[in-house]
Structure 1
Amino acid sequence: MSQYSMSSKDALALLERLSAHGVDACVGGGWGVDALLGTQTRDHSDLDLWAPAAHLHPLFAALAEAGVDRVFPWPGDRPWNFVLHDGVRLRVDLHLYERLADGSLHYGPAVDGDTFPAEALDGDGSIAGTTVRCESAEWAVRFHTGYPAREVDRHDVPLLCRRFGIPLPEGFGPFEEPRDA
């Protein structure tokens, strides 16, 4: 088990701090899935956040106030996606994007990055009863596929597909009851 742990209380405290600094954060990853489902279904080692690259300075200031100010070297780190941590237990996986003139969002390098509709980050969910903005269900499924599925993806994706009537992606098999995390 990872030493890093992101409780609902920790996630909400970080989101509140980011909001106080004017950061337009959107919850992704496992907490985004659980927000869409309206209940925590497993333990989380981090908080995945989408944020506009233009909000990087206030984002860093908000996270530094919470002690989440160290880069966590991770295979595949990129200038638009990297992990920060507090050295003890809190870890934030940042996904930075830029809004294009047509309203779509650009993620990745200028030449060959990914573009997706802004609606992908317009989901409504809740963490421990508190409303949060998160990935939409359809895009949460897309963002959890396209790479070799991990155990957490095999837990999260079927739950989203069942709740929101989304076809189960190839390679995820028939619906099964998730194992306890």
Structure 2
Amino acid sequence: MLNEDDVLDVLDLLVDAGVSAWVDGGWGVDALVGHTTRPHDDLDLVLPRHQLDAARQALAAAGFTTVLRDLLPTALALADGAGRAVDLHPVTGSGRDGGDQLLPDGQRFRYPAPVTGTIGGRTIPCVDAATQVRCHLGYPPRDKDHHDMAHLHARTAVALPAEYRASGPGGNTQRDIPYRDIA
């Protein structure tokens, strides 16, 4: 599990190494919401592919040496001895303008330029709300995905697809939130 201080420490570590990373996944949703809404097993980060080696070296120096998943060029997940995990999503392009992630099937996923969010009272770069929704498509939603999308919609009014408007067990537990169809 990672807490807010862990996230900020990793971001600082990467900035010090010259890496332009922006927060994705559950922590990215919480950054857009403005506060931590649930526990997080890992920290998802988008970063320019040409900075991947610098990120790996900086993380290794901080103890992130265990490779949990090597799906490069799509993703690389590392963990430290305390069980904290960082999942890197390299993209072609710059941190300033966004970039394209090469997917396992050869297609590309576009991450637009980062926006700002807040973790632990500090402004950080993160993935925008519409892209967060797109990242949550293509697989059966889990309870944490429903949780994240409900909070993201409530804070940003981002449109949600049908699978995130479901109610009942495993579905949205905040049925009072008005949903719009995704375009």
The two structures have a TM-score, normalised by structure 1, of 0.84
Which has the higher mean CA deviation after the structures are superposed, 104-113 or 31-40?
Answer: 104-113
**Cα offset, 1:176, TM superposition:** 3.1
Query: Residue by residue, what CA displacement relative to the aligned partner does 1:74-103 show, whole Å, maximum 9, x if unpaired?
Result: 7xx343212100132210011111029xx6
Kindly indicate whether the alpha-carbon contact (under 8 Å) linking 2:75 and 2:88 is maintained by their aligned counterparts in 1: yes
Query: Residue by residue, what CA displacement relative to the aligned partner does 1:118-148 show, whole Å, maximum 9, x if unpaired?
Result: 33xx221011101100000111111122211
User: Within the alignment, does 1:90 sit opposite 2:84 as a pair?
Assistant: yes
**Cα offset, 1:104, TM superposition:** 6.1
Partner secondary structure for residue 99 of structure 1: strand
User: Within the alignment, does 1:114 sit opposite 2:108 as a pair?
Assistant: yes
Q: 1:109 to 1:30 in 2, by over 3 A?
A: closer
**Cα offset, 1:7, TM superposition:** 0.7
1:28-177 to 2 correspondences below 5 Å: 28-73=24-69, 77-99=71-93, 105-108=99-102, 112-116=106-110, 118-119=112-113, 122-172=114-164, 173=166, 176-177=173-174
Kindly indicate whether the alpha-carbon contact (under 8 Å) linking 2:74 and 2:104 is maintained by their aligned counterparts in 1: no
**Cα offset, 1:109, TM superposition:** 5.2
Moved over 4 A (4+): none
Q: What 5-or-longer segments of structure 1 have no aligned partner? A: none
The two structures have a TM-score, normalised by structure 2, of 0.83
* Structure 1 Cα separation of the partners of residues 22 and 98 of structure 2: 15
**Cα offset, 1:111, TM superposition:** 8.1
One-letter amino acid of the structure 2 residue matched with residue 27 of structure 1: V
* Structure 1 Cα separation of the partners of residues 42 and 103 of structure 2: 24
Kindly indicate whether the alpha-carbon contact (under 8 Å) linking 1:141 and 1:161 is maintained by their aligned counterparts in 2: no
Equivalent residue in structure 1 for 2:5, among 5, 9, 13:
9
Q: What 5-or-longer segments of structure 2 have no aligned partner? A: 176-183
**Cα offset, 1:108, TM superposition:** 1.2
Q: Percent identity?
A: 36
Q: 1:104 to 1:20 in 2, by over 3 A?
A: closer
* Structure 2 Cα separation of the partners of residues 144 and 82 of structure 1: 18
* Structure 1 Cα separation of the partners of residues 22 and 37 of structure 2: 19
Q: 1:104 to 1:125 in 2, by over 3 A?
A: closer
Query: Residue by residue, what CA displacement relative to the aligned partner does 1:15-69 show, whole Å, maximum 9, x if unpaired?
Result: 0000000000010010000000110000011100001110012101110121012
